[in-house]
Each structure stands twice: as structure tokens, then as C-alpha cells.
């Protein structure tokens, strides 16, 4: 999972603030999420571990008694009758669940059928293969991203002084269908918009990968703008919910929230313009430049160029 | 109809049990309650014949099932029978309190009533059996097994190592016997085993199960041959080599240095010689080798020779041999041979007497050495091909040295003779006959096999393979997305049931619900009769532990009432669920009694039950309960007071 590691490294290198909140994963965003584990019915069969390609799951030879005691057994019972019986008996013996400190206990070597699954947020790509493999429905995918756990603490550094000559520098990813035509039209119409942007053409806005956004920011961009065809008019999918721009809209929403958490709020935006909307394109650029101007220069320390 | 038969054991039990009260209390549970004076005698058995029909459920409250179960199994028409040992578990161990003893008998008989409710008819398993037997190794033991089985009409294939030929039979003196006797024995065995098919080759792979193994053999000429056999007997030999002392003693250089197998020939026609017998301190000999050494030196001394034995530890189980050797004039010097020099025709031996801390010199005519005996060099390969365990000396491990001396860790594969440990001729022959009998009894026996088997619920099974991993007998195997039960390999121990996390395996007649119901009923009936008096439970395995508890009865080692023994097929069948359930229904203490360490009749039950108890104790500690309420211990018939010690408190 070279790609995921590179992405996380890039994300860590641009982070300027320790994230504190978990990020909601929008509906269309795949590949990010949290695996919730229900220990009570797990029989430590390790099928999920075998199924997990990035190696995000591992077995822990312990039993978390705390989880056992607090679970509410559903009316129809667990599928695993032996676990249901065990949990019931333990709850019966414990009486008051909240009294005392309930420790996890280790499973003796050579006793099969008991154990816990460890999940690593960093490696998980939310492919759900483990969920399919689990015979006991112990695993479920939650649409949240455990950002604080993944990024870890970030050293705060002093804000950079703003020089008077500073002008925003914005990378604008344009799809080469409508939004690129809109940019052309703006030129044909001799519309004036700020000099701050550099456009990079992509086949479709949906083709933009998060690593490109990170790379732009890492290399000194003060903001990243993504433009695509009007919603429902994507050349690759039209009004299908899986069309490039629909997908990218959710992704940008997701990454904006992550940027908010790591101290780069407002530096990523997506907007849409058709080939006939030269004026709108100029307006989009003007507004975003204004937004960046208000935020000031990027707080990221740009990798200094190699000097002789 | 549910019927209860009680036996007063020739009116002796009435001294300690109130039979009238028992009859009254159980009148509602059973349709009929009968008291007889001697159920095990002819009139008792005839009486049961007339009283019990095929569809009756019967509880017999008498002596232990080990005794009364034997005649009953043949005589009772019904298969739904539960035995409650009111003699060994109640009357004979609670002689001082008739009221409480009667209460305990009532509780146990109620338990018997619930037990019998859950009994299912035994399942007959139809099995394909191959009658042919493969014997690996054509030494004394191998020939003996082949000869025994051939004479019993069982076809035998005798597989010998590729380099083996007819001369090899007498070439090596492996069996610590006189060569004349050895020759005679081999001659006899060769003629009685001549109908066995003989092959030279090595086994390359094994598959299948006991009763139907498929074996691939690579023959001497390079051809492959696969065969179906019902059982395999491994009768490989030992290999002997010169000990490390041989160089010091100039073995091979001087004719005066010989091996112990030549001692008898050496002394047969000469006397008055001085002979030093030296043990190698780096080699740990077996009991057979130690005994052989003592026998040989005694004989040589009796012929008028001066024998000095330089030893450090002569291992024998027969003390008389040592005494006889001393009486015959053998001189024992504790020490190691350090230097040998030739002086004319004699040898000057220098050795340090470690008891006196002095260097001693002996001038002797001969030095006699003991060869080192190791397992046949192909043993390791053979064991890994057949998936067998080895012991620390590299010999093939037996399942249980006392009870199952010729069984290996795999069902349907047996060992005979030197494959197990160095043996003398007689022991090797006896072990071979034993192996032949076991083959006949277990592996190639025809006819129906009946028993309560583990039943796998395919719907509930997650194919997690916990049962496959824990089954000590390879009786559960994964077949695609299913777990398959192989009855011929199964010993009906129930270990798989405790391993299954989902309850996909249930043991016929012993399902989880039946245990729960029995535990609840014991607690309820105890409270009804004994009020708030505490009670304890003993979960005993049906092998050693149960025998020990019976022995406590025979020897009158009494313990307090309120201790109820529940029999499990094997202690390995007990999971934390049964233990916790016992605590939930109100038992003060729970003792899990299993066979002695390493002595489980099903190989792993003792160890597994210890693990389960340790795990349960951890769980109890974690939820703030006292873990000492649960314990595991071993019980064995030879220790009848174990039960008294374990439950000595007022339970």
C-alpha cells in the first residue's frame, strides 16, 4: 500500500495543527472509514485477517472483559450460542456492571476460539473485505475517519510574517471538457481576473487524486481550486451519481474538512462552470483569490530550494 | 416409561441410606421405583430382563457403572440408561450422616432422571475397513507381528528398508540376547511369516484414516506403489555405534577391546581372565541396556573371571540384578576410563575413582564396551511422513506409556519392539504380540461401531477450524467449506465441543442444554432438601478421575456430603460455560478433575482443562469474583484419598 503511505506522509507534512475531531466521510467517498469491532461474538477465526490485503488487522491474544459485560444481547440472541451463554453468565456473576475496574485478560496459549481483533486506522482502506469474510458479523464500517489517531500530534510553529509584496498563488485543476473551455472563453472575452492562478488540465475533475492536492500545497501553493463541468453535465457519466464531478464534489468536501482539522481551512474549493460560462469562471477565480487573500499566505514551510 | 431401580447391595446400604424416603421423594419423577437387593446377581439381572422393555428410560442407582455397567450393557434391552453410583459416591463415603447422605442420593437420582431424558440412541457408523496391515521394519518385532497376523488370517505387507536383505536378520546383535537363541527365534518367525508379502522400499506419503490408510511406497527399483491398508505397525530397529569411549579404549586397534555382545562368547571357553567393563559417561542407557549389562557381567563372573565394572550410573528397574552381580563377585568402581596402554598381551587401564578421588590402575586382559543405541536413522523421516511425534531420544512416542504402550499419537498406527526404546528379545516379542492384538482389536476389526458422536451443524459452523486444531485424533477435517467427522479416528472425548465458539458441534446425549439443565436441577434439589447449606461440584473425567472417586468409596475415604460429582467423557470437554454456570446456580466451589499430567486417555484433555480453568479464573478475577472457587486438579485411581483432600472443607 505504497500509495496510501505516501498520501499519509504528504498529509502529515502539510499539517500545521494537531487534529482533534474525527471527520465524517461523505457518502460517495470510498477508501476511508472506521472498522467497528464487536468482541462478544468474535471467535478469533482470523478470517478477517486473512482477507485484509493492506494488513490493517491483527490478532490480539486478549479478551476485553469490559466489552463482554456491557453488551446488550439482542432479543433473537447472538448467532453464536456459546458466546451468548458465556456473556449472560458473566453478566450474571458480575451483577453491578459499573463497579470495579474490569481488566482485559490474556488468553492462554493453545486455547482456540478466544481473542480480539486489533484494527489499525492508518493501514485500513475501508475495502470491506474483512466484513464480507467475518462469519459472525463482528465487523461493521463506520463512515468516519479517525484523523487524530492517524495524523498524531503536530508541532505548532510560529506563523510566517506576511510580506507586503505577497500575492496569492493558486493551483487550479480544470477538467478539459467544460471548465477548460470556460477558461478559454474568459480569455476570448478579454475578461480580467487575478493573475494568481495557474491552471492544470485534467481529463475530468474526477481524475484528480488527493495526492495532487497535497503536492500542490506542499510546494508552496496558497490554495487549490478544482473546477469541473456543471453538475449532472459531466462528460464522463452525465447525471449518474458516479459521474466524475459528483464524486469529486464529495471528495473535496471530505478533504476540506480534513484541511480544516489540520489548520488549512478554506484553502481548497471546488466549483463548476460550463463551456459557455466564461464570466462565471472569472468570478470563481476572483472569489477564491479574495478568500485566500483574506487567509493570508500558506502556513506551510515550503521545502527550500537547493542552494549552491 | 421412566423407571428407577435401586440396589441395596445385599441390604448393606440400608445402614447409611434411607431407601423408604428415597422411594417417596422420587415417586413423582419416575413412573416406577423399585428396590432390589442384588441387581448384579442372576436374579437381579433376570428381574431387570422382565421389567425393562426397549423403549423404557432407566436409571439405576447401585454401585459404580464400572462394575454394574458391564453386565447391564448386555442384559438391558433399553439403550437409555443412566447409572447413579449411590454406593461409591454416597453410602460408602458419607457413613456418619444418614440424613444428609440420603439427601445427596435423592439429588443425584434426580440428576440421573434428567440425564436419561437427554440420552439419544447411539449412532451406528458404517465403515469401510481394509483388512490388510502394513508392517514397517523386518526385524524381530516386525517378523513377530507379521507372523502373528498371518496366522490369524490377516494379509500382511512387510516393508523393509531398501538396503535390507536376509543376512541382516542375524548380522546385528540388537536384541541383547544370545546369538543362538536369536537365530532360532528368527528361523521360527521367518517360517511362520512366510505368507506375508515382502517389499523393500520407503514410505513417501500417507493419507486417509484409521481403518483405511492410503500409503505410497517408493520401491527399491525406483517404482512407485500405492496401497490401501487398515493399520500400520512400525517395527523399526535401533542402530548401534561405537561409544565415544571407543577411541580411549583403542577399539578396533587392539583385539582385546570388544563390545558387550561378544562377552558371552569370550568367556564361554576361558576363565581366570581379568575383564574391565567400562560405561560411557556421555551416553544415557535405557533400562533394558542396564539390565543386560548386569546379566552379562554376572554370567562372566560366575564362570570364574574377575570382572571390574567402571560405571557412573547403571540404570535398571530390577534391583535383584545388581545384588546378584555383587554376590557373583563383580567389582563395581565408580569412575570413568581415562587412559589405556598396552603392556605385552595385557592392557593397563587408568581410571579415576570418583568416590575415593583417587587414580586407580588395573591391568586387564580385555576391555568390554557398551555400544550406543540410537533409533534407526530413518526414524525422523518416517515420523514426519506419517505425522507422528518423537520422544526426546528420537524414538517414536507412545500415546500413554502405561495404558497404551503400543499406540502412537495417530490412531491406526502402532509401534512394536525397538521402535519405541531399546528392548531385549523377550520384551520386543511381547511388545510385538501386544501390537498385533491392538491391530486386530481396533484397526481391522469388522462389524458395527456404535456410539454417541459429535454432530456438526453446517448452518452454524463458521469453519473457523478451532475443532480441527484441538481434536487430538485427527477425527475432524476440513473438506472445502465443511468440517467432516471421521468416526473411525474419533474417541468420543468431546474436546471439539468445548473448542467450538459457536455451538456448531453438539455431542449426542451430552449437549450443552443438558448440562445446563442438570446443573440447575442439582442446585434446585439441593436447596429444597438441604436449605442454605452450601454445595460444591466436581466435574470428573470418566477415566482416571472417576476411577479415583470410586476408589475413595472402596477405601472408605469419606468426605462431606454436598459434593456432587458430575461425569464428563473427558475433562477437555469442559468449557468456561459449564464452570460459570455452576457458579451461577450457586455452587460454592467447582473442582475439575482430570487424568494426571501427560496421562490423559485422549492425549490433551488434562492440559486443555488446565488452560480452561486458568482462563476462567482470569475472567473471575477480572469481574471481581474470587478465582479460588474454581480449580483444576488431577485424580488417579492409585490415589484414592485425592478426593478427600480436594474437597476436605465442609462443602
For A53-92, what is each residue's pLDDT tens digit?
999 999 999 988 888 888 888 888 888 889 899 999 998 8
In this model, does residue A306 exceed pLDDT 60? no
Residue B442 pLDDT class (50, 70, 90 cuts): confident
Q: For residue range B35-83, list pLDDT tens digits in order.
A: 999 998 989 999 988 888 888 899 999 999 888 888 888 788 888 899 9
Write out the E strands in chain A: 23-24, 34-37, 57-60, 62-63, 105-106, 116-119, 139-142, 144-145, 170-175, 197-202, 223-228, 268-272
Please give the model's pTM, rounded to 2 decimal places. Answer: 0.81
Class (C level, CATH) for B243-370? alpha beta
* Mean predicted confidence (pLDDT) in B535-545: 93
CATH superfamily placement of domain B133-240+374-443: FAD/NAD(P)-binding domain (3.50.50.60)
Q: Is A160 strand, coil or helix? A: coil
Q: Which residues, at least 6 apart from B336, have a Cβ–Cβ distance to it below 8 Å?
A: B278, B279, B281, B310, B312, B351, B352, B354
CATH of B1-119, one of 3.40.1130, 1.20.120, 1.10.150, 3.40.50: 3.40.50
Answer whether A85 touches B (CB < 8 Å): yes
Segment B449-477 shows an average pLDDT of 88
Rounded Cα–Cα distance for residues B630 and B612 (Å): 11
Q: Which fold has domain B510-651?
A: Rossmann fold (3.40.50)
Residues of B with CB below 8 A from A46's CB? 464
For this complex, say whether ipTM is above 0.90: no
Chain B residues touching A103 at Cβ < 8 A: 621-622
Chain A contact for B282, CB < 8 A?
no
Contact predicate B431/B141, CB 8 Å: yes
pLDDT over 50 at A274, yes or no: yes
Question: What is the pLDDT confidence band of residue B476, given thresholds at 50, 70 and 90?
Answer: very high
Backbone φ, ψ for residue B644 (5° rounding)? -60, -40
HSE-up (13 A, CA, CB side) for residue B639? 15
Residue-wise pLDDT tens digits, B577-588? 999 999 999 999
Question: Quick check: A131 contacting B, CB < 8 Å?
Answer: no
pLDDT digits over A91-148, tens only? Answer: 888 876 666 677 888 999 888 889 999 999 888 999 999 999 998 889 999 999 998 8
For range B532-553, the mean pLDDT? 93
State residue A1's pLDDT score.
Answer: 56
Domains of chain A by range and CATH? 34-142 (3.30.70), 170-295 (3.40.50.960)
The pLDDT assigned to B173 comes to: 58
Q: What is the mean pLDDT of chain B?
A: 88
Q: Is the pLDDT of residue A17 over 70?
A: yes
The maximal CA–CA distance of chain A, rounded, in angstroms, is 81
Give the minimum alpha-carbon distance from A142 to chain B in angstroms, rounded to a whole number. 24
Domain assignments of chain B as residue spans, ordered by start = 1-119, 133-240+374-443, 243-370, 448-507, 510-651
Distance from CA of A86 to the nearest CA of B (A): 6
Among A108-117, B119-128, B207-216, B376-385, the least confident range = B119-128
- The yes or no reply on domain B448-507 and CATH 3.30.70.20 is yes
Instruction: Write out pLDDT tens, residues A220-241.
Output: 899 999 999 999 889 998 888 8
> Can you give the pLDDT at residue B18?
93
pLDDT at B601: 87
The C-alpha angle with vertex B208 and arms to B202 and B211, in degrees rounded to 5, equals 95
Q: What is the mean pLDDT of residues B383-393?
A: 89
Question: Is-same-fold flag (B133-240+374-443; B243-370)?
Answer: yes
Find where cell 485411581 sits: B637
B129 in A contact zone (CB under 8 Å) = no
Interface check B583 vs A, CB under 8 A: yes
B517/A265: higher pLDDT:
B517
- pLDDT, mean of residues A184-195: 91
B443 — pLDDT class (breaks 50, 70, 90): low
What confidence tens digit (pLDDT) does each residue in A144-169 have?
Answer: 999 888 888 888 766 666 677 888 99
Subunit contact B584:A93, Cβ cutoff 8 A: yes
B300 pLDDT above the threshold of 60: yes
**Residue with the larger pLDDT of the pair A268 and B404:** A268
CB B134 within 8 A of CB B234: no
User: Is pLDDT at B537 greater than 80 in this prediction?
Assistant: yes
A112 to chain B, any CB pair closer than 8 A? The answer is: yes
Residue B650 above 60 pLDDT? no
| pLDDT band at B651; cut points 50, 70, 90 | very low
Amino acid at each position: 500500500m505504497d500509495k496510501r503511505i505516501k498520501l499519509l506522509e504528504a498529509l502529515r507534512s502539510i499539517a500545521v495543527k494537531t487534529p482533534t475531531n474525527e471527520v465524517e466521510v461523505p457518502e460517495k467517498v470510498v477508501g476511508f472509514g472506521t472498522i467497528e469491532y464487536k468482541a462478544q461474538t468474535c471467535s478469533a477465526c482470523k478470517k478477517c485477517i486473512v482477507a485484509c490485503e493492506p494488513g490493517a488487522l491483527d490478532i490480539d491474544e486478549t479478551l476485553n472483559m469490559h466489552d463482554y459485560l456491557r453488551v446488550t444481547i439482542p432479543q433473537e440472541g447472538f448467532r453464536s450460542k456459546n458466546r451468548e451463554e458465556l456473556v449472560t453468565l458473566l453478566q450474571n456473576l458480575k451483577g453491578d456492571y459499573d463497579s470495579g475496574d474490569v481488566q482485559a485478560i490474556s488468553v492462554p496459549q493453545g486455547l482456540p476460539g478466544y481473542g480480539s481483533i486489533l484494527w489499525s486506522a492508518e493501514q485500513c482502506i475501508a475495502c470491506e473485505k474483512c466484513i464480507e469474510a467475518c462469519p459472525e458479523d463482528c465487523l461493521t464500517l463506520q463512515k468516519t475517519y479517525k484523523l487524530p489517531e492517524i495524523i498524531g500530534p503536530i508541532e505548532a510553529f510560529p506563523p510566517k510574517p506576511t510580506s507586503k509584496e505577497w500575492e496569492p498563488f493558486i493551483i487550479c485543476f480544470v477538467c478539459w471538457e467544460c471548465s477548460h473551455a470556460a477558461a478559454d472563453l474568459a480569455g476570448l472575452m478579454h475578461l480580467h481576473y487575478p493573475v494568481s492562478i495557474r491552471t492544470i488540465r485534467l481529463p475530468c475533475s474526477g481524475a484528480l487524486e488527493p495526492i495532487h492536492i497535497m503536492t500542490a500545497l506542499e510546494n508552496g501553493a496558497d490554495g487549490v481550486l478544482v473546477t469541473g463541468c456543471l453538475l449532472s453535465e459531466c462528460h464522463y457519466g452525465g447525471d449518474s451519481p458516479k459521474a466524475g464531478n459528483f464524486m469529486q464534489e464529495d471528495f473535496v468536501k471530505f478533504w476540506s474538512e480534513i484541511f480544516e482539522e489540520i489548520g488549512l481551512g478554506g484553502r481548497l474549493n471546488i466549483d463548476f462552470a460550463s463551456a459557455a460560462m466564461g464570466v462565471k469562471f472569472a468570478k470563481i477565480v476572483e472569489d477564491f483569490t479574495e478568500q485566500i487573500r483574506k487567509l493570508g499566505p500558506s502556513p506551510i514551510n515550503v521545502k527550500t530550494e537547493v542552494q549552491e | 416409561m421412566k423407571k428407577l431401580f435401586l440396589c441395596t447391595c445385599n441390604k448393606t446400604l440400608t445402614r447409611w441410606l434411607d431407601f423408604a424416603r428415597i422411594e417417596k421423594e422420587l415417586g413423582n419423577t419416575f413412573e416406577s421405583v423399585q428396590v432390589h437387593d442384588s441387581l448384579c446377581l442372576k436374579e437381579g439381572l433376570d428381574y431387570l430382563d422382565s421389567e425393562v422393555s426397549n423403549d423404557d428410560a432407566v436409571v439405576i442407582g447401585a454401585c459404580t457403572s464400572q462394575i454394574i455397567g458391564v453386565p447391564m450393557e448386555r442384559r438391558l434391552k433399553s439403550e437409555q440408561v443412566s447409572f447413579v453410583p449411590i454406593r461409591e459416591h454416597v453410602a460408602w463415603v458419607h457413613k456418619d450422616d444418614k440424613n444428609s447422605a440420603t439427601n445427596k442420593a435423592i439429588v443425584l437420582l434426580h440428576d440421573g432422571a434428567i440425564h436419561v431424558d437427554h440420552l439419544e440412541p447411539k449412532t451406528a457408523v458404517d465403515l469401510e475397513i481394509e483388512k490388510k496391515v502394513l508392517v514397517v521394519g523386518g526385524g524381530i518385532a516386525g517378523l513377530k507381528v507379521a507372523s502373528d497376523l498371518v496366522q490369524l488370517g490377516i494379509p500382511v505387507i512387510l516393508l523393509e528398508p531398501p538396503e535390507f536383505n536376509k543376512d541382516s536378520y542375524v548380522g546385528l546383535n540388537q536384541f541383547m540376547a544370545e546369538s543362538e537363541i536369536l537365530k532360532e527365534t528368527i528361523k521360527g518367525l521367518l517360517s511362520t511369516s512366510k505368507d506375508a508379502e515382502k517389499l523393500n522400499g520407503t514410505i513417501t506419503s500417507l493419507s486417509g484414516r484409521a481403518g483405511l490408510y492410503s500409503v505410497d511406497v517408493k520401491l527399491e527399483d525406483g517404482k512407485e506403489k500405492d496401497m490401501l491398508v487398515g493399520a500400520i505397525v512400525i517395527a523399526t530397529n535401533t542402530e548401534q555405534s561405537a561409544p565415544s569411549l571407543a577411541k580411549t579404549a583403542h577399539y578396533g586397534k587392539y583385539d582385546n577391546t570388544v563390545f558387550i555382545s561378544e562377552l558371552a562368547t569370550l568367556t564361554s571357553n576361558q576363565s581366570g581372565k581379568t575383564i574391565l567393563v567400562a560405561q560411557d559417561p556421555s551416553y544415557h542407557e535405557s533400562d533394558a541396556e542396564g539390565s543386560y549389562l548386569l546379566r552379562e557381567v554376572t554370567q562372566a563372573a560366575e564362570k570364574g573371571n574377575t570382572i571390574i565394572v567402571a560405571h557412573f550410573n547403571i540404570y535398571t528397574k530390577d534391583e535383584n540384578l545388581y545384588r546378584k552381580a555383587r554376590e557373583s563377585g563383580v567389582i563395581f568402581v565408580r569412575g570413568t576410563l581415562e587412559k589405556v596402554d598396552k603392556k605385552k598381551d595385557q592392557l593397563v587401564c587408568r581410571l579415576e575413582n570418583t568416590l575415593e578421588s583417587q587414580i586407580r590402575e588395573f591391568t586387564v586382559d580385555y576391555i568390554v564396551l557398551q555400544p550406543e543405541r540410537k533409533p534407526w536413522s530413518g526414524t525422523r523421516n518416517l515420523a514426519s511422513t506419517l505425522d507422528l511425534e518423537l520422544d526426546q531420544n528420537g524414538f517414536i512416542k507412545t500415546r500413554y506409556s502405561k495404558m497404551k504402550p503400543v499406540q502412537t499419537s495417530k490412531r491406526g498406527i502402532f509401534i512394536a519392539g525397538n521402535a519405541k526404546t531399546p528392548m531385549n528379545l523377550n520384551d520386543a516379542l511381547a511388545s510385538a504380540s501386544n501390537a498385533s492384538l491392538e491391530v486386530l482389536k481396533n484397526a481391522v476389526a469388522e462389524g458395527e461401531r456404535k456410539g454417541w458422536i459429535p454432530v456438526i451443524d453446517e448452518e452454524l459452523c463458521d469453519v473457523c477450524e478451532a475443532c480441527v486444531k484441538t481434536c487430538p485424533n485427527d477425527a475432524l477435517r476440513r473438506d472445502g467449506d465443511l468440517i467432516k467427522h471421521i468416526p473411525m479416528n474419533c474417541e468420543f472425548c468431546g474436546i471439539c465441543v468445548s473448542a467450538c465458539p459457536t455451538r456448531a458441534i453438539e455431542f449426542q446425549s451430552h449437549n450443552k442444554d443438558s448440562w445446563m439443565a442438570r446443573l440447575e436441577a442439582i442446585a434446585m434439589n439441593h436447596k429444597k432438601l438441604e436449605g442454605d447449606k452450601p454445595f460444591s461440584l466436581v466435574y470428573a473425567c470418566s477415566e482416571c478421575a472417576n476411577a479415583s472417586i470410586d476408589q475413595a468409596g472402596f477405601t472408605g475415604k469419606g468426605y462431606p456430603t454436598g459434593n456432587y460429582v458430575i461425569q464428563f467423557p473427558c475433562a477437555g470437554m469442559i468449557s468456561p460455560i459449564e464452570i460459570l454456570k455452576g457458579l451461577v446456580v450457586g455452587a460454592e466451589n467447582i473442582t475439575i478433575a482430570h487424568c494426571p499430567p501427560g496421562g490423559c486417555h485422549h492425549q490433551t484433555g488434562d492440559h486443555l482443562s488446565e488452560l480452561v480453568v486458568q482462563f476462567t479464573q482470569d475472567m473471575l478475577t477480572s469481574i471481581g469474583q474470587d478465582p479460588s472457587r474454581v480449580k483444576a486438579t488431577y485424580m488417579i485411581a492409585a490415589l484414592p484419598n485425592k478426593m478427600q483432600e480436594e474437597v476436605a472443607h465442609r462443602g
